[in-house]
């Protein structure tokens, strides 16, 4: 109830009927039998990150809800006509309209109920529909008057609640059947959803009135048509209560002294919320002045109506917390009401009651995992060192974790879970994540210098990917949801952190020896694979933090590693901020860098490492991120601002690959002169529109099959994208392609793995005259 009371405290209108200082007690008193049924509002974040989030329910305007309202309106029009005229044909027409409406209502309710889990989609659906119900039910007296003016004056309120009663009876029966149908799937959760619907059905005030003001005149229809009480008598009783309480406040010192005990200042007078409070009733109705002014029957009636008003206030504030949204074609989430013009964060996932599942459980986040190297080994050593060493290391770890929490809060990172010797964080911007990762790494380095027991290293992995949200049981005392992340995104992060590959020769060999195999024979068996398995780059290992791919293409991460998806998002953020880029030359590689605005860090460099195979995953492209202080760089070269970060990274990577491959080729030809059989590489064709440099022109690249004269595994893309991907600038010529032949072939091989485009005839491109065609084989030639 605490989360709900915090929500009500933020809504000024709730104070009209509820004491603001006693909201949690009021909720427990009103909904003692239904605790846990009321939906808990979500945090909704504006697109402007400087603005605080609001609490409410994000709901998408959908065709299903609009169609449902239209069917409700048609049924009420036919039902009102039949209730007034009592014609046989009108009754049949009203029944048909009701069946159509109820059928659509139960279909939408079933979708919400089956998608409910612990996220209250079902409750929010009924709150949203209750807005339509209240709007149309409250207009029934006017509908009756439109059919028959005299019947409207005499029977309008009575017919209104007769129709409301029919709706309650019909939906109660249908929801009972729906709950029984869903029981095998939901295993008891359907009863929770059914109980909330019963709550709304029993409180007809929330279904029949859209708004009730502080003067309570909207209760006229409820009193006359439902309770069959005279509204004017109730108003007179209410005014006598108000007047008596005000007079006692002025004349009776004891009464005045007791008022602050109810959370109200005596100077404020006696507000409506206090007059409706049951504790105040117990105190006030015992006073002789109140007993003389108000009869016992009037007191009992007022207490009944006061409770209904307070229930209405809570439920009405919940449904008024619905924020109607619409998604634009570009993915922007905007307010459905154009008068407000609010723009919400793109990560907002409004509930769409017209789609299966209501909300897609997949979310995209920037994720970070840090992992302390050799954590288990260090713990074992600490334990053997004695109790004092354990206490000292515990205090060091406590200090480390507290500072990490400070860093996460400063950069708006959301802590998700501990992962044994590390932790998992998420956020919504790449720059935040990278700055936090660098600060964590630098603080760890500082802790090592001060004697941190866990000093074997710190590995950090960053990515941008999709995660699935797995809602778990909510905490009963706070109402907060426990949502676990799972899916490919977190698996990728964990693999990037540890650098686990598909081939772990040492682990396999150790497993065989542990199960009785002779160690010498195991070593002999794996000898052909020994070359390069554990090859280390001594230049990289000379650094405190480092990351690279070894001779087998396995990832070695003892620093900060990022996926290409994250670098792409970072590239967009840097471009939007017009952040200047530089090329750094160091003894252990070249980096593309920018100024990160981190104290003590002059430049933050990135370099593409290449494609690596991680355990259980497809090959992914990874990069190293390294911070540099003043004086740690051999050379800094400012770069052209027109090139993006990703383009520059790919250009440097392919240039380095070409230099490496040409050096390896020269070494091989100078040493190995024996004849061997080799498989011929397929020939690549590239077709570009002739006499045009338009970036939107189509470029075709694929494998040429000379037997069929077809282009196999074709890729078609705009010229601008082709130039950025393959790092080719200016006009395309055979000489430029010859220089970049190997990198073009390698990148094409990676990009074409997933293509589903059928083979294309090569002749129209080669002979049509509209395209220039280039053939990349042993030589590069223009056809």
Q: Is 60 exceeded by the pLDDT of residue 667? A: no
Q: DSSP for 695-736?
A: TTSEEEEEEEETTTTEEEEEEEEEHHHHHHHHT--SS--HHH
Place of tokens 């010229």: 719
**pLDDT tens digits along 24-57:** 888 888 887 766 788 889 889 898 878 888 999 9
More confident position, 99 or 692 = 99
Q: Is 80 exceeded by the pLDDT of residue 678? A: no
Which of 294-298, 540-544, 549-553, 665-669: highest mean pLDDT?
A: 294-298
**pLDDT tens digits along 724-768:** 788 787 778 888 888 888 888 888 887 777 666 778 888 888 877
**pLDDT tens digits along 568-588:** 999 999 998 889 999 999 988
Mean pLDDT over the full length of the chain: 86
Structure-block tokens of residue 249 = 């406040």
Place of tokens 């090959």: 619
Q: What is the pTM of this model?
A: 0.68
**pLDDT tens digits along 60-112:** 999 999 999 999 999 999 999 999 988 888 899 999 999 999 999 999 999 99
Three-state SS for 459-506 is EEEEEEEEEEEEEECCCCCCCCCEEEEECHHHHHHHHHHHCCCCCCHH
Q: Is 90 exceeded by the pLDDT of residue 169? A: yes
The Cβ of residue 468 has, within 10 Å, a number of other Cβ atoms equal to 15
Q: How confident is the model at residue 675 (pLDDT cuts 50, 70, 90)?
A: very low
DSSP state of 52: P
Beta pairing partners, 557: 547
What 3-state DSSP class applies to 66?
helix
Beta pairing partners, 590: 585
Which of 286-290, 343-347, 670-674: highest mean pLDDT?
A: 286-290
pLDDT at residue 754 in the model: 64
What 3-state DSSP class applies to 614?
coil
pLDDT at residue 74 in the model: 96
More confident position, 308 or 21 = 308
Say if CB 422 and CB 461 are below 8 A apart: no
Distances (CA, A) of 480 to 53, 91, 98, 315, 477: 16, 48, 39, 19, 8
Distances (CA, A) of 25 to 29, 305, 589: 6, 19, 64
Report d(CA 526, CA 533) in Å as an integer: 10
Q: DSSP for 631-656?
A: T--SEEEE--TTS-HHHHHHHHHHHH
**pLDDT tens digits along 490-535:** 888 888 888 754 345 666 777 788 888 887 788 778 766 654 445 5
Q: DSSP for 232-262?
A: HHHHHHHHHHHHHHHHHHHH-HHHHHHGGGG
**pLDDT tens digits along 378-397:** 888 888 878 888 898 899 99
pLDDT at residue 532 in the model: 46
Domain 362-472+480-515 fold is: Alpha-Beta Plaits (3.30.70)
Distance from CA of residue 133 to its chain's centroid? 31
**pLDDT tens digits along 147-160:** 888 888 889 999 99
Q: How confident is the model at residue 776 (pLDDT cuts 50, 70, 90)?
A: confident
Q: DSSP for 127-182?
A: HHHHHHHHHHHTTHHHHHHHH-HHHHHHHHHHHHHHHHHHHHHHHHHHHHHHHHHH
Starting at the edge strand that comes first in sequence, how are the strands of the sheet with 780-782 ordered? Answer: 760-761, 710-718, 698-705, 683-689, 771-776, 780-782
The rounded radius of gyration (Å) of the Cα atoms in the chain is 36
pLDDT at residue 238 in the model: 93
If we measure between CA atoms, which residue out of 600, 592, 688 comes closest to residue 643? 592
pLDDT at residue 256 in the model: 92
Distances (CA, A) of 196 to 37, 121, 192, 315: 6, 12, 7, 11
**pLDDT tens digits along 247-258:** 999 999 999 999
If we measure between CA atoms, which residue out of 546, 525, 549 comes closest to residue 535? 549
Say if CB 227 and CB 300 are below 8 A apart: no
Q: Is 50 exceeded by the pLDDT of residue 312? A: yes
Helices first, then strands: H and E counts in the chain = 30, 24
Report d(CA 242, CA 254) in Å as an integer: 18
Distances (CA, A) of 661 to 453, 537, 683, 741: 43, 18, 19, 11
Q: At what angle do helices 63-85 and 121-137 cross, to 10 degrees?
A: 40
> What are the φ/ψ torsions at residue 336 (nearest 5 degrees)?
-70, -25
How much of the chain, in percent, has pLDDT values that exceed 70? 92
Q: Is 60 exceeded by the pLDDT of residue 406? A: yes
> What are the φ/ψ torsions at residue 234 (nearest 5 degrees)?
-65, -40
pLDDT at residue 747 in the model: 82
What 3-state DSSP class applies to 282?
helix
Say if CB 704 and CB 761 are below 8 A apart: no
589-594 and 603-612 strand pairing: antiparallel
pLDDT at residue 300 in the model: 93
**pLDDT tens digits along 359-376:** 877 788 899 999 998 888
Say if CB 20 and CB 39 are below 8 A apart: no
Q: Which range has the worst mean pLDDT, 85-99, 186-200, 555-569?
A: 186-200
Give, for 191, the enclosing helix (H) or strand (E). helix 189-202
DSSP state of 601: B
Q: Is 50 exceeded by the pLDDT of residue 672? A: no
The percent of the chain in helix, strand and coil, each rounded to the nearest 5, is: 50, 20, 30
If we measure between CA atoms, which residue out of 16, 7, 144, 24 comes closest to residue 477? 24
Average pLDDT rounded to a whole number, residues 617-631: 89
**pLDDT tens digits along 432-483:** 999 999 999 999 999 999 999 999 899 999 999 888 777 665 544 444 556 7
Structure-block tokens of residue 775 = 């053939």
């Amino acid at each position: 109830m605490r989360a709900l009371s915090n929500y009500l405290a933020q809504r000024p209108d709730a104070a009209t009927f509820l004491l603001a200082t006693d909201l949690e007690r009021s909720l427990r008193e009103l909904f003692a039998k239904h605790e846990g049924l009321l939906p808990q509002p979500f945090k909704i974040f504006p697109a402007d990150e400087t603005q605080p989030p609001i609490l409410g329910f994000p709901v998408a305007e959908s065709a299903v809800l609009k169609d449902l309202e239209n069917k409700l309106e048609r049924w009420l029009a036919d039902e009102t006509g039949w209730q007034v005229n009592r014609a046989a044909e009108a009754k049949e027409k009203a029944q048909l309209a009701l069946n159509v409406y109820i059928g659509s209502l139960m279909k939408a309710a079933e979708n919400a109920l089956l998608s409910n889990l612990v996220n209250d989609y079902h409750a929010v659906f009924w709150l949203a529909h209750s807005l339509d119900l209240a709007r149309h039910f409250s207009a029934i007296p006017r509908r009756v008057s439109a059919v028959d003016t005299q019947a409207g004056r005499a029977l309008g309120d009575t017919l209104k609640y007769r129709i409301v009663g029919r709706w309650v009876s019909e939906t109660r029966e249908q929801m009972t059947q729906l709950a029984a149908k869903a029981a095998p799937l939901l295993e008891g959760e359907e009863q929770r959803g059914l109980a909330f619907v019963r709550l709304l059905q029993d409180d007809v005030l929330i279904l029949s009135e859209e708004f009730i003001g502080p003067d309570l005149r909207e209760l006229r229809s409820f009193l006359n048509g439902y309770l069959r009480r005279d509204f004017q008598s109730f108003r007179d009783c209410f005014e006598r209560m108000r007047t008596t309480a005000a007079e006692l406040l002025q004349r009776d010192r004891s009464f005045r002294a007791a008022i602050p005990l109810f959370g109200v200042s005596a100077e404020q007078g006696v507000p409506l919320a206090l007059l409706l409070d049951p504790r105040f009733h117990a105190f006030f109705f015992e006073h002789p002045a109140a007993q003389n002014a108000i009869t016992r029957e009037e007191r009992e009636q007022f207490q009944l109506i006061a409770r209904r008003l307070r229930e209405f206030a809570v439920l009405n504030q919940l449904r008024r917390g619905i924020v109607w949204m619409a998604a634009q074609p570009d993915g922007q989430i905007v307010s459905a009401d154009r008068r407000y013009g609010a723009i919400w964060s793109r990560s907002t996932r409004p509930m769409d009651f017209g789609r299966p599942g209501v909300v897609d459980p997949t979310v995209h986040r920037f994720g970070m995992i840090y992992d302390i190297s050799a954590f288990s080994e260090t713990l074992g050593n600490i334990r053997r060192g004695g109790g004092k060493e354990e206490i000292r290391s515990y205090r060091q770890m406590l200090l480390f974790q507290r500072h990490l929490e400070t860093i996460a809060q400063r950069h708006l990172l959301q802590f998700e879970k501990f992962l044994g010797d590390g932790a998992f964080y998420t956020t919504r911007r790449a720059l935040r994540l990278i700055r936090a990762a660098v600060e964590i790494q630098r603080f760890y380095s500082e802790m090592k210098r001060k004697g941190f027991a866990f000093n074997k290293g710190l590995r950090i992995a960053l990515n941008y990917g999709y995660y699935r949200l797995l809602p778990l049981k909510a905490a009963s005392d706070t109402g907060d949801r426990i949502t676990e992340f799972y899916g490919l995104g977190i698996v990728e992060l964990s693999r990037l952190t540890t650098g686990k590959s598909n081939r772990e020769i040492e682990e396999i060999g150790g497993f065989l020896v542990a199960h009785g195999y002779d160690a010498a024979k195991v070593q002999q068996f794996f000898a052909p694979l020994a070359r390069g398995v554990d090859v280390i780059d001594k230049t990289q290992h000379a650094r405190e933090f480092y990351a690279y791919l070894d001779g087998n293409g396995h990832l070695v991460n003892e620093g900060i590693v990022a996926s290409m998806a994250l670098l792409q998002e970072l590239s967009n953020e840097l471009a939007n901020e017009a952040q200047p880029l530089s090329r750094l030359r160091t003894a252990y590689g070249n980096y593309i860098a920018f100024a990160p605005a981190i104290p003590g860090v002059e430049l933050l460099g990135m370099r593409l490492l290449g494609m690596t195979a991680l355990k259980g995953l497809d090959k992914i492209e990874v990069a190293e991120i390294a911070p540099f202080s003043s004086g740690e760089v051999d050379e800094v070269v400012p770069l052209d601002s027109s090139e993006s970060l990703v383009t520059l990274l790919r250009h440097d990577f392919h240039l380095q690959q070409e230099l490496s491959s040409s050096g390896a080729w020269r070494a091989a030809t100078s040493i190995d002169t024996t004849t061997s059989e080799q498989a011929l590489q397929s020939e690549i064709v590239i077709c570009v529109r002739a006499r045009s440099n338009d970036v939107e022109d189509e470029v075709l690249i694929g494998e040429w099959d000379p037997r069929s004269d077809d282009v196999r595994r074709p890729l078609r893309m705009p010229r601008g994208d082709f130039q950025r991907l393959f790092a080719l600038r200016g006009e395309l010529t055979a000489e430029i392609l010859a220089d970049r032949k190997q990198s073009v072939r390698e990148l094409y091989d990676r990009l074409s793995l997933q293509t589903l485009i059928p083979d294309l005839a090569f002749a129209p491109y080669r002979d049509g005259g509209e395209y220039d065609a280039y053939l990349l084989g042993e030589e590069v030639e223009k056809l």
